[in-house]
Amino acid sequence: MTPMVDLAFLLLTFFMLTTTFNKPQTMEITMPDKPKPDDVQPEVNEKRVLTLILGEGDKIYWYKGITDPKLEVTNFSADGIRKVLLTQNAQTKDMIILIKALEKSKYKNMVDILDEMNITDMKRYAIVKVTDTDKELVKELNL
């Protein structure tokens, strides 16, 4: 009986050490270095900027441009933000997407929007802080 138990533990140890464990799947995000005070920010054409504001209740508020924004609302469905991203990308070459999350949005929403960036093959996007203007626009739309 003892040799059989030894053999069982030997086989168990062998298979545990030789198997490959599942590697966690992660999305690589390259974050830029913090700008230095003497760095010059590059000029960006306002028409190429699309801003996404992640709100509560799985809503996404979005607008195109920087000045005089016209806020619209969508969701995380295939006919929602994915359609918006694909349509805007077809209209504007080399689009830059700014992702902003309100305090009441969920962490899941940020993961979902990063997944959408990957699904729709958006190359240029940034996660930035929400401005007071964005908060006011969302508040006005919800009234």
As for how many domains the chain has, the answer is 1
Instruction: Establish if 132 belongs to a structural domain.
Output: yes
pLDDT of residue 14: 86
Q: What is the spatial distance between Cα 127 and Cα 121, in angstroms, rounded to a whole number?
A: 16
The pTM of this model reads 0.73
Q: What is the spatial distance between Cα 129 and Cα 132, in angstroms, rounded to a whole number?
A: 10
Instruction: Establish if 116 belongs to a structural domain.
Output: yes
pLDDT tens, position by position, 61-96: 999 988 788 888 999 888 899 999 999 989 988 899
Instruction: Establish if 33 belongs to a structural domain.
Output: no
Instruction: Establish if 25 belongs to a structural domain.
Output: no
Mean pLDDT over each residue of the chain, to the nearest integer: 86
End-to-end CA distance of the chain: 78
Residue 107 is part of a domain; what is its CATH number?
3.30.420
Report the DSSP beta bridge partners of residue 51: 63, 98
Domain containing 135: what range? 46-142
pLDDT tens, position by position, 100-122: 999 989 999 999 999 999 889 88
Instruction: Establish if 69 belongs to a structural domain.
Output: yes
